[in-house]
Structure 1
Amino acid sequence: MRTLPIVRNARFYEAIRRTLSLPSQAFQILPFFTNFCTQTSKNSCEDESVKSSSEENKSLSFRIERLPRGKSVGSAFQKWMGEGLPIHGDEIFLAINRLRKLDLNKRALELMEWVIRERPYRPKELDYSYLLEFTAKLHGISQAEELFSRIPPEFRNELLYNNLVIACLDKGEIRISLAYMKKMRELGHPISNLVFNRLIILHSSPGRRKTIPRILMQMKADKVVQHFSTYNILLKMEANEHNIEGLQKVFGEMKNAKVEPNEITYCILATAHALARLWTVTEAYVDAVKKSMTGNNWSTLDVLIILYGYLGKEKELERIWSNLQALPHVRSKTFVLAIEAFGRVGQLNLAEELWEEMKSEKGLTSTEQRQKLLEADLVEEALRTLELGLDFMASKKVRKSTPWLETTFSMVEIFAEKGDVQNAENLFEELSKAKYTRYTFMYNTLIKAYVKAKIYYPNLLRRMILGGSRPDAETYSLMKLAEQFRP
Structure 2
Amino acid sequence: MLAIRRAANPLRSHFYRIVVTHACCGNPGVPISKSECVNGLSVVLKPFSHGSSFCLMMPSWGSRNLSSHAGMKSSDSENDLDDGFSDLDRPPSTDRIEDIGHKEDDCDLVSESDASEEDFAEDGENLVGLSGTDTDANGEKAAKDKNASPLFKIIMDAPHSSVDSALDKWVEEGNALGRGEIAVVMLNLRKRRLYVKALEFVTWLKANKRLEFAERDYASYLDIIAKVRGLQNAEKYIEKIPTSFRGEIIYRTLLANCVASTNVKKAEEVYNKIRELGLPITTFTCNQLLLLYKRVNRKKIGDVLLMMEKENIKPTRFTYKLLIDSKGRSNDISGMEQIVDAMKAEGIDPDMTIQAMIAKHYMFAGLNEKAESVVKEIEGSEINKNRNSCKVLLPLYAALGKTEDVTRIWKVCEADPRPDERLAAIEAWGELGHVENAEKIFDDMMKTSKKLSSNYYNALLNVYASQKLLSKGKELAKRMSDNGCRIGPLTWDVLVRMYAESGEVEKAELILEKAAKQRSKIRPLYNSYMILLDRYAKEGDVHNAEKIFLRLRQIGYVGRMRQYQSLLQAYVNAKTPAYGFRERLKADNIMPNKAFAAQIASSDAFRKTQISELLD
Would you say 1:389 and 2:502 are equivalent positions? Answer: yes
How far apart, CA to CA, are the structure 2 residues paired with 1:331 and 1:45? 21
User: Residue deviations 1:173-219, cap 9 Å, x none?
Assistant: 4344334333434555333434333323332357x221221122223
| Superposed CA RMSD | 4.6
Deviates more, 1:223-232 or 1:327-336: 327-336
How far apart, CA to CA, are the structure 2 residues paired with 1:329 and 1:365? 14
Residue 228 of structure 1 is aligned with which of 317, 328, 331? 317
Residue 92 of structure 2 is aligned with which of 30, 34, 39? 30
Would you say 1:195 and 2:259 are equivalent positions? Answer: no
How far apart, CA to CA, are the structure 2 residues paired with 1:342 and 1:215? 41
Higher RCO (CA < 8 A, seq sep 6+):
2
Residue 253 of structure 1 is aligned with which of 314, 336, 342? 342
Residue 43 of structure 1 is aligned with which of 104, 118, 126? 104
Q: Which has the higher helix share?
A: 1
One-letter code of the match for 2:310? A
Q: 2:28 corresponds to which residue?
A: none
How far apart, CA to CA, are the structure 2 residues paired with 1:137 and 1:184? 21
Q: 1:369 corresponds to which residue?
A: 464
The structural deviation recorded for 1:267 is 0.8
Q: 1:460 corresponds to which residue?
A: none
User: Residue deviations 1:408-430, cap 9 Å, x none?
Assistant: xxxxxxxxxxxxxxxxxxxxxxx
Residue 416 of structure 2 is aligned with which of 297, 301, 326? 326
How far apart, CA to CA, are the structure 2 residues paired with 1:356 and 1:327? 13
Q: 1:352 corresponds to which residue?
A: 436
Q: 1:240 corresponds to which residue?
A: 329
How far apart, CA to CA, are the structure 1 residues paired with 2:500 and 2:207? 60
Q: 2:162 corresponds to which residue?
A: 71
One-letter code of the match for 2:104? N
User: Residue deviations 1:78-124, cap 9 Å, x none?
Assistant: 3256253x222232223223222322222111111122222223222
In structure 2, relative to structure 1, the CA distance for the partners of 1:237 and 1:111 (3 Å cut) is same
SS of the residue 1:255 aligns to: helix
SS of the residue 2:210 aligns to: coil
Do the aligned residues in 2 keep the contact of 1:203 with 1:211 (CA within 8 Å)? yes
SS of the residue 1:270 aligns to: helix
User: Residue deviations 1:451-479, cap 9 Å, x none?
Assistant: xxxxxxxxxxxxxxxxxxxxxxxxxxxxx
How far apart, CA to CA, are the structure 2 residues paired with 1:120 and 1:27? 52
Do the aligned residues in 1 keep the contact of 2:286 with 2:308 (CA within 8 Å)? yes
Q: 2:193 corresponds to which residue?
A: 103
SS of the residue 2:233 aligns to: helix
How far apart, CA to CA, are the structure 1 residues paired with 2:203 and 2:102? 24
Q: 1:442 corresponds to which residue?
A: none
Do the aligned residues in 2 keep the contact of 1:27 with 1:240 (CA within 8 Å)? no
How far apart, CA to CA, are the structure 2 residues paired with 1:386 and 1:77? 46
One-letter code of the match for 1:72? V
One-letter code of the match for 1:71? S
One-letter code of the match for 1:69? H
One-letter code of the match for 2:359? A
SS of the residue 2:312 aligns to: coil
Consecutive unaligned residues of structure 2, counting only runs of 5 or more, are 1-85, 108-144, 447-456, 470-497, 510-525, 535-564, 567-616
In structure 2, relative to structure 1, the CA distance for the partners of 1:366 and 1:264 (3 Å cut) is closer
Do the aligned residues in 2 keep the contact of 1:274 with 1:307 (CA within 8 Å)? no
Deviates more, 1:240-249 or 1:308-317: 308-317
Consecutive unaligned residues of structure 1, counting only runs of 5 or more, are 1-23, 47-53, 375-384, 405-432, 435-487
The structural deviation recorded for 1:290 is 4.1
One-letter code of the match for 2:155? I
Do the aligned residues in 1 keep the contact of 2:158 with 2:166 (CA within 8 Å)? no
SS of the residue 1:106 aligns to: helix
One-letter code of the match for 1:213? G
Would you say 1:336 and 2:426 are equivalent positions? Answer: yes
One-letter code of the match for 1:106? V
Would you say 1:126 and 2:216 are equivalent positions? Answer: yes
Question: After the TM superposition, which residues 111-150 of structure 1 pair with which residues of structure 2 at under 5 Å, given as runs?
Answer: 111-150=201-240
Normalising by structure 1, what TM-score?
Answer: 0.59
SS of the residue 1:160 aligns to: helix
* Number of residue-to-residue matches in the alignment: 353
User: Residue deviations 1:229-285, cap 9 Å, x none?
Assistant: 122122223333444233223323333444332211111112222444544433432
Do the aligned residues in 1 keep the contact of 2:146 with 2:152 (CA within 8 Å)? no
